Chain A
Amino acid sequence: MWFNTGGWRGKKRVVQAGSRQHRQRQIIGWALFALVVVLIPFLIADTYSPTIFGNRYTVGLGNLSQAVGLMVAILGLNIATGYSGQLSLGHSFFVGSGAYLTAVLVNDFHWSYVATLGVVVPGLFLFGVLFGIPALRIQGLYLGLLTFAVAAVFPSIIRLEEVSERTGGSNGLLIESDLKPPTWAPLDKVTEWLHAIPGVGSRVPDGLTGRQEEAVYKYFLLVIVALVCFWLVRNILAGRVGRAMVAIRDNPLGAAANGVNLAAYKTLSFGISAAVGGVAGTMLAMHSGFVGPDEFGFSMAILLIVGLIVGGAGTLHGAVAGGLAIQFVPHWSSQTQTLPGTDVALEGPYGTAILGGLLIVIIFALPGGAAHGFRKIKSRLMPVAPRPPGG
């Protein structure tokens, strides 16, 4: 293989885990990540329109914000399915519930978006636990069957006459609250500074319009909520609870024999999964200012599974990769007017078909998902040796 010649390999320095160099490298990595996360909104606040193979694409900041919401949704699904191994094909139900809860609280009770999390998180946690209790008796494929059906029912519950006054029924619900950036946030200023940087700065607009400022503000708000979610989930998973969940997934009998309370941890995992899903719902409502029943139907449920598998089940990076995939693959496809070499326009349903194909290809060729793939490439380019015992 052209990229893997012996001599090139030989020159590579192997860094030891926990060493100063390793820590430096980690810090540099995170700093780069933070820089990208902070700079991107200013770069594409004015929409980014590359032309690739004769097709003009438009990426708005909104697309990225939506992807951030989907990442958190997949993160939630990951807890129940990726980490504790319970096939949940109905995660959209939790996401939808969170979104509608937020929409109703904002509309009818005039709460602020972020404040609704105070109800969404405990509410959905409880809901998830309640759902997890019957799910204890239903395993594997059967749980998939049940949750698949549950996902399909969400839109009809929203359309029920008894609740449609609040939920808006089939028409959906426009949320009557705009997220205005607070006056102290220097978003406009930052843009001007960035614009002033010679060379690179020309890519940044020289100031933001009101709407752009709002989009940038929303993006940062969503990124912060997402970071908090990932950080909390990471801590939960790194501890006792996470180990118990993984033990249940990999060997339920062994876990039970070692004193892991299967019932408690399985319901707990559904509770956490639902709570995180609810937060994702709040984020998506926040992002679009609108909730509709069919958005949270079974197509979303399947897309979240696609995101989970394509990104990599059982990893946190996988949720990020998966969220980007299910947001941008359809987006890319819907804007591809002519597929290179053909005159096929990939509009409409092509995006979903491509995601379906991607799902099958990943399962076949890369069972660990994209996260696993990245890790493999990284370990080849920048190998890290484990710390010797006692060192």
Chain B
Amino acid sequence: MVVVASLLGIFDVSLDKLSNGELWLAQFFRGLSDGATYASVALALVMIYKSTGFINFAQGSLALLGVYLVYVFSVEQGLPVAVAVLCAMVASAVVAMFVERVFIRPFPPDHVLPLVIVTLGLLLIIDSAVGIVWGFRTRSLPSMFPTGAPIEWGIAQLTWRTIGNLGTVFAVVGLLYLLLSRTKVGLAFRAVSSNLESARLVGIRVGPTLGFGWALAAAIGTLGGALVVPDLLLEPSIMLRVLIFSLAAAALGGLDSLVGAVIGGLVVGLARNLLVTFLDLSELALATAVAVILVVLLVRPTGLFGSTRVERV
């Protein structure tokens, strides 16, 4: 008890807060909402990791570009937000295919380290390109979902946005599952992830299949960005924080598991909101993500749902 009391003292936790059920519920809903957005970018990371075995550090940048396209289509061109998001998903998929073709495919796919460095270069290029084209002024982006909350308990609100975010992520993961398990292109994608050489030997064109993976990942990342940005303001560095949280989500889920990415995202979202609220650590929100990554990698490198990969010494 003494330990608990002193811990509470260190973190300046008020018991009022802890016994406030509505606050718990409110943060729970916010955590789910944030978590859903992290999950969708984590899904994009997992798609690339599954097929190529490396982490695409430029995934957040591709999503950033996608979100700016949403802004162009919705605010500047006046399309309905949902339509704008769809258009931006397609456009970012095309960009990602181009990026994959030009910057990734020239490198041998089994040498992971140079490819990781290349994605760092892409991160620099895409982020700066966004800054060059759209400048550093902050903008606000409308949400796809109506404002307001159908269900309220005091300060705890289950908003349409939370419901929409969660619904979108579950829909995405369901569609992805169907695509990967029921279609021929899905079979090709999984075959390439499983055994590159045999995939070639059954006549699968590996390059275009990986390009397809990049396109799909970018579209999902753009969707994730379109979910997260309306809560914040749109500016060129916005996706970096999201990328860190999503990396934590993907690591927690096991880096190669779609379901793991979703659950990891939700857990990270909840952990972040609850810790920040109850321990009063607003500046350390990002650090919770790092802590998650560290603990997962130390305790269980395959995450919650990842498949074991043999690593060298």
Answer whether A and B are interacting partners: yes
B127 at the binding interface (Cβ < 8 Å): yes
Q: In the assembled complex, which residues on chain B have CB atoms less than 8 Å from the CB atom of A137?
A: 297-298, 301
Using Cβ atoms and an 8 Å threshold, which residues of chain A touch B251?
Answer: 142, 145
In the bound complex, do residue B294 and residue A134 qualify as a contact, i.e. CB atoms below 8 Å apart? yes
A156, B286: Cβ atoms closer than 8 Å: yes
B287 near A156 (CB under 8 angstroms)? yes
Q: Taking the complex as formed, is B112 at the interface, i.e. its CB lies under 8 A from any CB of chain A?
A: yes
| Stretch of A102-110, A206-214, A276-284, A354-362 that contacts chain B | A354-362
Do residues B244 and A149 form an inter-chain contact, with CB atoms below 8 A? yes
- Decide if A87 touches B313 in the complex (CB within 8 Å): no
Set B57, B107, B132, B284: member contacting A350, Cβ < 8 A: B132
Within 8 A of A (CB), among B29-77: 54-55, 57
Contacts of B103 in A (CB 8 A): 360
Quick check: is A184 within 8 A (CB to CB) of the other chain? Answer: no
Which residues of chain B from 254 to 313 have any CB-CB distance to chain A below 8 Å in the complex?
Answer: 283-287, 289-290, 293-294, 297-298, 301, 311-313
B163 in the interface (beta carbon within 8 A)? no
Instruction: Name the CB-closest residue of B to A248.
Output: B313
- Which of the segments A17-25, A26-34, A221-229, A302-310 contacts the partner chain? A302-310
**CB of A159 within 8 Å of the partner chain:** yes
Q: Which residue of B lies closest to A139 (CB)?
A: B311
B172 an interface residue at 8 Å Cβ cutoff? no
Say whether, besides A353-B124, A353-B128, A153 and B290 are in contact (CB < 8 Å). yes
Q: Are B312 and A152 in contact (CB under 8 A)?
A: no
Q: Is the interface of A mostly helix, strand, loop or mixed?
A: helix
Distance of B265 from chain A, by nearest CB (Å): 15
Instruction: Say whether B125 faces chain A, with CB atoms less than 8 Å apart.
Output: yes
Interface locus among B113-121, B177-185, B226-234: B113-121
Nearest-CB distance from B125 to chain A (Å)?
Answer: 4
What's the interface size class on B, roughly? 35 or more
Complex Cα–Cα for A106 and B153 (A): 53
B131 within 8 A of A: yes
- From A150, A256, A363, give the contact of B117 (CB < 8 A): A363
Chain A interface category by residue count = 35 or more
A364 to B103, CA, bound (A): 9
- CB neighbours (8 Å) of A141 from chain B are 54-55, 112-113, 116
Q: Is A388 an interface residue (CB 8 A)?
A: no
Residues from chain A with a CB closer than 8 A to the CB of B301 are 137-138, 142
By secondary structure, the B interface counts as: helix
Query: In the complex the two chains form, is A87's CB within 8 Å of B125's CB?
Result: no
Contact of B123 among A150, A160, A356 (CB under 8 A): A356
A156 neighbours in B (Cβ, 8 Å): 283-287
- Chain A positions 335-391 with a Cβ under 8 Å from a chain B Cβ: 348-353, 355-357, 359-360, 363-364, 367
Task: Give the CA-CA distance A38 to B103 in the complex, in Å.
Answer: 42
Q: A134-B298, A137-B297, A350-B128 are in contact. Are A360 and B311 (CB under 8 A)?
A: no
- Cα A343 to Cα B81 in complex, Å, equals 36
Most buried by A among B55, B123, B290, B301: B290
Check B117–A305 contact: CB distance below 8 A. yes
B146 within 8 A of A: no
Instruction: List residues of chain B with CB within 8 A of the CB of A295.
Output: none
Decide yes or no: A144 and B124 within 8 Å by CB, A87-B113, A150-B290, A309-B117 being known contacts.
no
Task: Please tell me if the beta carbons of A160 and B284 are within 8 angstroms of each other in the complex.
Answer: yes
Task: Answer yes or no: A146 CB below 8 A from chain B CBs.
Answer: yes
Asked whether A160 lies within 8 Å of B283 as measured between CB atoms, the reply is: yes
The answer to whether B240 and A152 touch across the interface, beta carbons within 8 angstroms, is yes
Contact among A134, A298, A306 for B121, CB-based, below 8 A: A306
Q: At the interface, yes or no: A253 with Cβ under 8 Å from chain B?
A: yes
C-alpha gap A140/B117 in the complex (Å): 12
List of A residues within 8 angstroms of B289 by Cβ: 149
A–B pairs, 22, beta carbons within 8 Å: A89-B120, A141-B113, A145-B55, A145-B297, A149-B248, A149-B290, A153-B286, A153-B290, A156-B283, A298-B240, A302-B124, A306-B120, A348-B131, A349-B129, A352-B127, A352-B128, A356-B121, A356-B122, A357-B125, A359-B120, A360-B118, A360-B125
Chain A to chain B: the 10 pairs with minimum beta-carbon distance, closest first:
A356-B124, A349-B128, A353-B128, A359-B121, A349-B131, A356-B125, A360-B121, A252-B313, A356-B121, A352-B128
Residues of A bordering B, CB below 8 Å: 87, 89, 134, 137-142, 144-146, 148-150, 152-153, 156-157, 159-161, 252-253, 256, 262, 298, 302, 305-306, 309, 348-353, 355-357, 359-360, 363-364, 367
